[in-house]
Structure 1
Amino acid sequence: MRFVQFTCKSGGPQHLGVQLEQGGGIVALSKIDSSVPNNLKEFLEGGDDLLNKAKRIVSEAENVTPEAEVKFLAPVTGMDKLACIGLNYADHAKETGEALPERPMVFSKFPSIIIGPTDNIELPTISDEVDWEVELVIVIGKKGKHINKQNAEDYIFGYTVAQDVSARDWQKRLNGGQFLIGKSMDTFCPLGPAVITKDAISDVNNLRVKTWVNGKIKQDSNTRELIFKPPDIVAHLSQFVTLLPGDIILTGTPGGVGVSRNPPEYLKKGDIVETEIEGLGRLQNKCV
């Protein structure tokens, strides 16, 4: 199932829906049944009862809204935690000259910086080294602590796509080596367009991941390059904090980032960044 948060272009409130297929029509769950929340976080907090209700609504739905009539919002918002994993693709580690990490390197972004799949990226005036990073995103489906790797899949609801926009100067030099500020400027996390349930993905460890800037391919890799796989990441993070429904984890980026190019390349006003993961969807964000 492809869960989306959206509004109608003609106006009206936010709804939670299920898109029948990529590019297809949307069943507005929260419009059809008012007992269904209008956001994915609260929906996940409702557990299997709400999921089963959603499946029934989709199977019986007669009113389907065409994709052209909606504006997709970020598919999950209001989460407790937005965690990130650094240096988690073998090809990215190679291009940076870094040794492969022995355990997942965890940092975070502020959840408030999330934007939708077609919203603008605002380039900050305090940085001229803003870079791109396509990332597979884990969406947590239920509460868990001290999860073991063998059971970690049970806590994963699904996956989505993020562009982990990064101000490299503030990430690497101007904040004492701490990543948070360089990763957490306003609009630095385009997300979406949908959260795809794990059962709808044939092999999450074999998906092409790509970034284009102004139509030119910059990143082209595959999730098989991930050093730590999703269950490893979920189990590791849960040793430190309780994972909650709606929490998301960005799993790292592959090779091809701007800072590692010779000479380095950074985003400029007017650039169009497109971010895609095979079968999950594509983001298109303009830099302003």
Structure 2
Amino acid sequence: MRLGRIGAPGAETPVVIDQDGATFALAALTADIDGAFLASGGIDRVREALAERALPLIDPAGQRTGAPLARPGKVVCVGLNYRDHAEETGAPVPERPVVFMKDPSTVVGPYDEVLIPRGSVKTDWEVELAVVIGREARYLESPAEAPGHIAGYAISNDVSEREFQLEYSAQWDLGKSCETFNPLGPWLVTPDEVRSPQALGLRLTVNGETRQRGHTKNMIFGVAYLVWYLSQYMVLRPGDVINTGTPAGVALGLPGTPYLRAGDIVELSIDGLGSQRQTLSNA
């Protein structure tokens, strides 16, 4: 099952897309797809309504696709989680997950414009598997418990300004939390439609040229481990997002490869989770 939101920014309508690709409105079940919806068993209610054919069919043609999750509580990011990415940036392979936070207001739709910050010379791309939490995770006993706390998966573009991130501060926040720096979606795909989060190919192109081609099997720390690990240090609540890291191929790790400029087009996809496309503009 694929959950999504369509409509103008701030006025999105929640929808579900069934296995045949038909789109149904969820307004009768929920005002939005958010933490409260997930925490209250919303996904199960949608599944039941689909089975009973109780939802109205709609045509989404011509409508904007918003992020599939409204108002994430927090966006937790994992850096250097692919060995090849750590190596290309000259960083040591981490012995423990590298964790940082990203402003939740950076989350925008998968086809929305991405703004290059004023003064930026090193705006970069990062295709990532995003995990959306569906049930509170607090001091989980083991990674085996983690799947029961996951609502679904989505594509995330962890856009980053490398000069802000690495040269302006000892922390990464400045380069990670600029406006529009986290396109998400197009869908929140429930776990029953994902064979394994460690069996997904990731791809990203800039102006049609391949920059990233990786696979989640090459994560240093897998999804279940990350959810368990993070639950030891913070409470993960329904509607929280975890960006699980990016494979090699970012501009930071490719000497001579230009960073993003206004007019560039970034396209990214993950197996079974759809695709994104963003045009870059100056803020």
Same fold (TM over 0.5): yes
Shift of 1:16: 1.4
Aligned to 1:164: 158
Contact 2:26 2:55 in 1 (8 A): no
Q: Please give the per-residue CA displacement for 1:119-162, whole angstroms capped at 9, x wherever unaligned.
A: 10011112110000000001000112101212111111110001
Q: 1:39 to 1:243 in 2, by over 3 A?
A: same
Contact 2:32 2:70 in 1 (8 A): no
Q: Please give the per-residue CA displacement for 1:86-123, whole angstroms capped at 9, x wherever unaligned.
A: 00012212212332211111001100111101110011
C-alpha distance in structure 2 between counterparts of 1:156 and 1:13, whole Å = 26
**Which piece of structure 1 moves more, 53-62 or 221-230?**
53-62
2:183 is matched with which residue: 190, 194, 218?
190
2:49 is matched with which residue: 47, 53, 57?
57
2:144 is matched with which residue: 145, 150, 156?
150
Contact 1:77 1:111 in 2 (8 A): no
- 1:273 corresponds to 2:266: yes
C-alpha distance in structure 2 between counterparts of 1:253 and 1:160, whole Å = 14
- 1:97 corresponds to 2:95: no
Between structures 1 and 2, the one with greater helix share: 1
Aligned to 1:261: 254
Shift of 1:28: 0.8
Segments of 5+ residues of structure 2 without an aligned counterpart are none
1:199 is matched with which residue: 186, 192, 215?
192
C-alpha distance in structure 2 between counterparts of 1:190 and 1:62, whole Å = 28
Aligned to 2:109: 116
1:19 is matched with which residue: 1, 17, 20?
17
Contact 1:5 1:40 in 2 (8 A): no
Contact 2:35 2:73 in 1 (8 A): no
C-alpha distance in structure 2 between counterparts of 1:117 and 1:172, whole Å = 26
**Partner-residue secondary structure (3-state), 2:116:** coil
Task: Output the TM-score relative to the length of structure 2.
Answer: 0.93
2:25 is matched with which residue: 15, 28, 46?
28
Amino acid at match of 1:117: P
Task: Output the TM-score relative to the length of structure 1.
Answer: 0.92
C-alpha distance in structure 2 between counterparts of 1:217 and 1:264, whole Å = 12
- 1:247 corresponds to 2:235: no
Contact 1:25 1:67 in 2 (8 A): no
- 1:125 corresponds to 2:103: no
4+ residue runs over 4 A deviation: none
Q: 1:236 to 1:64 in 2, by over 3 A?
A: same
Aligned to 1:5: 5
Aligned to 2:209: 216
